[in-house]
Amino acid sequence: MLFKINKMKKLNKNVEVIVANANDIKDCFEILNEKIDRLFIKSQNNEPHGDIIFMNDVCKMTDAKRATIYSLVHYNKIPFVKPEGTKKLMFSRKAIEGWLLNRNIE
């Protein structure tokens, strides 16, 4: 939970609202903004997702099959990010480029 619920107010039998103070709401928005910023980083060259790339991009960069990349992820042999609450794998283009320079795909 992002903030403490101070009070629940029932408007009618089907609708309840959370009553929170302004500081709690501000803190909630700051946390959400940080999470959004991390997911949608813009790079200097204004690529849609900046440095963030996805499985298909990694397969193209490495000439590897999806199954190979999934195996490397499973054994933590390739740098990746899996945001909490999602099944989507994300990768940093710079991290993958560095990994390719230092290691061959097995």
Structure tokens of 99?
């990994």
What ranges make up the beta strands (E) of 28-93? 52-53, 91-92
pLDDT at site 98:
92
**Hey, where are the domains in the chain?**
7-39, 52-102
Measure Cα distances from 45 to 37, 53, 60, 80, 81 in Å.
Answer: 17, 14, 20, 22, 22
pLDDT at site 62:
93
Please give the Cα distance from 96 to 91 (Å, whole number).
7
pLDDT at site 44:
38
C-alpha 61 chain-centroid distance? 21
Q: pTM higher than 0.75 for the full model?
A: no
pLDDT at site 12:
67
pLDDT at site 88:
83
**Which residues of the chain have a pLDDT value below 70?**
1-20, 33-50, 104-106
pLDDT digits (tens, 9 = 90+) for 52-67: 888 989 999 999 999 9
